[in-house]
Amino acid sequence: MADPIKVYPPKPSHVYFYATCLIDMFYPDAGMAGIQLLEREGVKVIFPEDQTCCGQPAYTSGYHDEARAVAKAQLDLFPEDWPIVVPSGSCGGMMRKHYPSLFKHTDQEDKASGIAARTWELTDFLLNVCHIHLKDLGEPTTVAMHTSCSARREMGVAEVGPRLLGQLQNVNLVEQVRAEECCGFGGTFAVRHPEISGAMVSEKVDALTDTGAGAFVTTDCGCLMNISGCAEKNRKPLEGQHILSFLWDRTHSGSGRES
Amino acid sequence: MSSRDAILQRLRNRSGGELAIPDCDFSVLQRPSSSVAERVDQFQKTIESVHGEVHRCTSENWITQLADLLSSRGARNLLVPAAHQIGRTLRDADSNELPELLIYDEPIHSWQAQLFNEVDASITSTRGGIAETGSLIMWPTPDEPRLMSLVPPIHIAVLEASELYSTFHEAMQDQNWAAGMPTNALLVSGPSKTADIEQTLAYGVHGPKELIVLVIE
Amino acid sequence: MNQATQDPHHIDVKEFHPRARAAISDPKIRQNFRKAMDGLITKRKDAFEGMDLEALRELGANIRLRALANLPDLLEQLEKKLSENGIKVHWATDGDEACRIVRNICVARNAKTVIKGKSMVSEEMELNHYLEERGITALESDLGEYIVQLAGETPSHIIMPAIHKNTGEISELMHQTTGTDLSNDVEYLTASARQQLREKFMNADVGVSGVNFAVAETGTLCLVENEGNGRMTTTVPPCHIAVTGIEKVVGNLEDVAPLLALLTRSATGQHITTYFNMISGPRKLEELDGPEEVHLVLVDNGRSSIYQDDELLDTLRCIRCGACMNHCPVYTRVGGHTYGTTYPGPIGKILMPHLIGLDEGRHLPTASSLCGACGEVCPVKIPIPDLLVRLRQESVDGDKLNPAKVRGHGAKRGSVEALVWKGWSWMHARPGVYRFGTALAARLRKLQPGQLGGWTEYRTAPKLAAKTLHERMKERGQ
């Protein structure tokens, strides 16, 4: 569940950028976009070199010892008291919601809780901490949005994406039917229960395609990989992009996507 | 050891130890104060939304209204309380507009088939109502037994407008139910219904097909 | 494998996957559930409109937690008050014992026919089956349960048992089993069932019902229903037996008001059900109807084990509204029978492993994308996703710091999978190895296999980027 009351910090001088392993390997553009958006807001971005994965895949699969070993290796990456921003509701949720219980009754308990308390989902941070004002430089376009379940329910940021997109004058945001329904990714769920996950993502692709937008943005690379992969496999005219890439592409003064 | 003692012992010797007892804040159930008229309006709107029928009457004209309602439905008879004022008034009215009046004055087993098959309508009193949920409060008594409001296809309930509460919580607090409950107490909010066949509403599946409330203002 | 024609008493819970595949490829099942769930989601939302839902859920959760904190005391108080009121209380360790108790009451009364109101605990006990085998007829009277019984099936939803069938299928079934005319007129079908069941009510020797809330303070059994069959069951036969789980007790009568408000709105989007039936005693001498005898059977069946653990205990808060299944994207796709358990959907996934063991129920906790919709709508705030993760951990013995407790734990731990996670963990806990490995993968991305098992049946394979973000940040000088 989302925090009942979220207390946003004042805009800091520095942030730690925790990229997540999916962005690192599959969607580095989205990571770069996030970093550049933060830098444009005047925030110095620290990218801890030793970051790997938050541990979530093992955690949600029940292998908590293995998850803890990986998570433990992340705990020393954030020595200063700066916010940790994560371009994913899912990995952000792991750190914010599950690190404290994962390290309960261990020597790392305090450190884990401290990290949890200063972990933010990046779009939320841009909107509500940086108070970003976006100036749309792109051509008129229509997009749909899929907010990940963890962004929506664990991090409580369902309103953030639409508000950021709402700042873009030339972007028409259309809503898919059953917007709140899961795309069927769920990490290892997609592999353990391929038929169910497949049925879910097929319907999600239909819902997004039926908006007529032809393109969607999302907060999480898991959903992006899932939905785009399904659209591509079924040759549906639906392009997916991480919301950070979309926001950066439309608002920076070069043209085209960063590569 | 008996199952009872074994279960209780397992619960008492809980391996996790004592559990914290949280506070329960009931203030979320409080409603702003409302007038009788507002409560009647809310009651009517809510119960009508679930297929209940409301007629606003006075203590002078309710019998006439009742007679109209029954004759429009072709009811051949009406089961009335034996002792309650409602029953007495109806019998005293000696109106030929009303159908035959029946009373429930013997144990169910002696007239079960008749009650199930031959009684067209019944009328009972209520112990008030609940505006927010459109509910009638009924405590069956020897004079108005449990099945009276359940078996006949038409149930007519008489509700004094002044006895409408805002919420269930308010009603039970105000009437101090916790001090002692009757063998059976009911909230009735509309006619019997089901949506078990493809989410399609159908009325009168086991209980009355029609619930008519005479609100005495 | 047709899930509907399986003998409901011999379902192998472990055969989840074939049933899921069958359900997903059955357009009728998919359509019936989708339509019903969409309607229920909308109705629930509308029903809470204008209310402070979060405060109400908080209160609901706290009332249930408070009752659980006092559980043994409240059960004793309940027993005492009910006995004073003339209701006889029985205790059953498991479903079999509960069935025996019910049967013994029937035998003592020379009862041959039992009419039933809806009760999930009696489904859990497989009471009908037990009684039938011993020559006592048990007939369901809730319309949905009646339909399911005519079909020889089990409920596919805890509130709407026949939700997997559409009108045409029900018409066909009733035509074949009861001789009603074929008709798509729901009014006609309902009226036929009314007629058939009225006869049964009049002739039944015993009525068996469930309980939604048992109030310790006053010794009151509360039943929530729309049809009136619950009132019939508890009023017409000379003997009423209520069966319930030991967790259903609440302290005060006052506690019932918010729980009822949450229950009906969460379940079907109703402000309240047609009937809220509060039973505090058998017929008194001067009364003209109502049962002469009332019994309550308190069933443990694994609940006291769940009670031992601080986290798992939250499972017992459940008030059986079914909102978690209505909002579950997995349940919506596969339907209730796929689970092969008494309680399907999210609540079933966290409750059933305790009742049948984690070895039997090993697939249940995995059948979730952990989307959190269930926890979000739960009226008593059960953290269902967290409990699913906990049970996944228990099923693979995955946490040395918090050893598993649930019966049958560790049954899902496979040596290959455990090794994979060990390797994964080794690599990701070593930043240098991770950077080297991921950079190497990026270099070799053209060699990436195009087929990745179940993933690529429905999607293309994910594409590794030419350079990792780590490498790009390095180039940037960071």
CA distances from C360 to A8, C121, C409 (A): 46, 19, 10
Point out the least confidently predicted range of A52-61, B18-27, B113-122, C5-14: C5-14
Containing domain of residue B147, as a range?
34-192+201-216
Per residue in C50-108, pLDDT (tens digit) is 999 999 999 999 999 999 999 999 999 999 999 999 999 999 999 999 999 999 999 99
Helix axes B3-12, C71-85, angle to 10 degrees: 150
User: Residue range B43-61: average pLDDT?
Assistant: 97
Per residue in A191-204, pLDDT (tens digit) is 999 999 999 999 99
Predicted local confidence at residue C3, as pLDDT: 42
Enumerate the residues of chain C whose CB falls inside 8 A of the CB of residue B47.
Answer: none
CB-based contact C329 A189, cutoff 8 Å: no
CB-based contact A182 C438, cutoff 8 Å: no
CB-based contact C465 A180, cutoff 8 Å: no
Confidence of residue C5 (pLDDT cuts 50, 70, 90): very low
B46 near B133, Cβ under 8 Å?
yes
Interface test with C, best of B143, B173, B206, B213 (most C CBs within 10 A): B206
Domain boundaries, chain C: 53-304, 415-475
Provide the CA A178 distance to its chain's centre, in angstroms: 20
Task: Find the residue in C nearest to A33 (Cα).
Answer: C469
The vertex-A78 CA angle with A77 and A83, nearest 5°, equals 140
Residue whose token pair is 């796929």: C338
Q: Measure the CA–CA gap between A214 and A230, rounded to whole angstroms.
A: 14
Task: Indicate if the pLDDT at residue A255 is higher than 60.
Answer: no
CB-based contact A1 C24, cutoff 8 Å: no
- Domain annotation for chain A: domains and CATH numbers: 14-128 (3.40.50), 141-251 (3.40.50)
Residue whose token pair is 């004058």: A169
Predicted local confidence at residue A6, as pLDDT: 87
A244 near A123, Cβ under 8 Å?
yes
Q: What is the DSSP letter of C15?
A: T
| The CATH number fitting domain C53-304, selected from 3.40.50.2300, 3.40.50.10420, 1.10.1370.40, 3.90.1640.30 | 3.40.50.10420
Point out the least confidently predicted range of A227-236, C89-98, C451-460: C451-460
CB of C196 within 8 Å of a chain B CB? The answer is no
CB of C147 within 8 Å of a chain B CB? The answer is yes
Provide the CA C106 distance to its chain's centre, in angstroms: 28
Query: What percent of chain B clears pLDDT 90, i.e. is strictly above it?
Result: 98
Task: Find the residue in C nearest to A177 (Cα).
Answer: C38
Rounded-to-10 torsion of CA C416, C422, C423, C426: 180
CB-based contact B26 C254, cutoff 8 Å: yes
User: Residue range B120-139: average pLDDT?
Assistant: 98
What number is the ipTM of this complex?
0.98
Per residue in C388-435, pLDDT (tens digit) is 999 999 999 999 999 999 999 999 999 999 999 999 999 999 999 999
From the list A124, A171, A118, A182, the residue with the least C-alpha distance to A149 is A182
Q: What is the mean pLDDT of chain C?
A: 95
Task: Indicate if the pLDDT at residue A4 is higher than 70.
Answer: no
CB-based contact B132 C187, cutoff 8 Å: no
Strands (DSSP E) along C134-263, which ranges? 137-140, 206-209, 213-215, 220-225, 239-245, 249-250
CB-based contact C469 A226, cutoff 8 Å: no
Burial of A78 (C-beta count, 10 Å sphere; 0-12/13-18/19+): buried
Q: Do the strands C275-279 and C220-225 form a parallel or antiparallel pair, or are they unpaired?
A: antiparallel
Subunits adjacent to chain C (3 or more Cβ pairs under 8 Å): A, B
CATH number of the domain bearing residue B171: 3.40.50.10420
Touching, A vs B (3+ Cβ pairs under 8 A)? no
Phi-psi region of A56 (alpha: psi -120 to 50; beta: other; left: phi over 0): alpha
Per residue in A95-106, pLDDT (tens digit) is 999 999 999 999
Say how many C-beta atoms besides its own lie within 10 A of residue C14's C-beta. Answer: 14
The vertex-C30 CA angle with C26 and C32, nearest 5°, equals 115
Q: Measure the CA–CA gap between B105 and B112, rounded to whole angstroms.
A: 12
B154 near B120, Cβ under 8 Å?
yes
Predicted local confidence at residue C1, as pLDDT: 35
Q: Measure the CA–CA gap between C169 and B5, rounded to whole angstroms.
A: 48
Token output for B159: 């509700």
User: Residue range C8-28: average pLDDT?
Assistant: 88
C315 near C101, Cβ under 8 Å?
no
Phi-psi region of C297 (alpha: psi -120 to 50; beta: other; left: phi over 0): beta
User: Residue range C19-48: average pLDDT?
Assistant: 95
Grouping H, G, I as helix, E, B as strand and the rest as coil, residue C405 is coil
B77 near B121, Cβ under 8 Å?
yes
CB of C232 within 8 Å of a chain B CB? The answer is yes
Query: Residue C275 belongs to what H/E stretch?
Result: strand C275-279
Provide the CA B191 distance to its chain's centre, in angstroms: 10
Residue B27 lies in a domain: no
Enumerate the residues of chain C whose CB falls inside 8 A of the CB of residue A28.
Answer: 465, 467-469, 472
Predicted local confidence at residue A2, as pLDDT: 46
A76 near A9, Cβ under 8 Å?
no
Of A19, A62, A196, the CB nearest to C24: A196
Per residue in A140-161, pLDDT (tens digit) is 999 999 999 999 999 999 999 9
Residue B154 lies in a domain: yes
Confidence of residue A3 (pLDDT cuts 50, 70, 90): low
* DSSP-assigned states of every residue in C19-64: HHHHHHT-HHHHHHHHHHHHHHHHHHHHHTTTS-HHHHHHHHHHHH
Sign, Cα dihedral of C181, C185, C187, C189: positive
- Sheet containing B184-188: give its strands across: B164-165, B129-130, B135-138, B184-188, C275-279, C220-225, C213-215, C249-250
Task: Indicate if the pLDDT at residue C122 is higher than 50.
Answer: yes
Domain count, chain B: 1
Question: What are residue B115's phi and psi, to 5 degrees?
Answer: -60, -45
Predicted local confidence at residue A1, as pLDDT: 44
Interface test with A, best of C14, C396, C397, C428 (most A CBs within 10 A): C428
Task: Collect all residues with Cβ–Cβ distance below 8 Å to A17 and sequence separation of at least 6.
Answer: A31, A34, A35, A38, A45, A46, A47, A48, A85
Task: Collect all residues with Cβ–Cβ distance below 8 Å to B148 and sequence separation of at least 6.
Answer: B79, B81, B104, B122, B124, B140
Predicted local confidence at residue C450, as pLDDT: 83
Smallest Cα distance from B182 to chain C, Å: 6
Say how many C-beta atoms besides its own lie within 10 A of residue A140's C-beta. Answer: 9
Of C20, C412, C459, the CB nearest to A193: C20
* DSSP-assigned states of every residue in A121-184: EHHHHHHHTS-------SPPEEEEEE--HIIIIIS--TTHHHHHHHT-TTEEEEPPTTTTS--S
CB-based contact C459 A65, cutoff 8 Å: no
How would you label A157-179 residue by residue, b for 16+ Cβ within 10 Å and e otherwise? Answer: bbebbeebbeebeebebeebeeb
Per residue in C224-270, pLDDT (tens digit) is 999 999 999 999 999 999 999 999 999 999 999 999 999 999 999 99
Provide the CA B111 distance to its chain's centre, in angstroms: 23
C222 near C213, Cβ under 8 Å?
yes
CB-based contact C464 A57, cutoff 8 Å: no
Residue B22 lies in a domain: no
CB-based contact C469 A23, cutoff 8 Å: yes
User: Residue range A13-33: average pLDDT?
Assistant: 98
From the list A212, A244, A210, the residue with the least C-alpha distance to A23 is A244
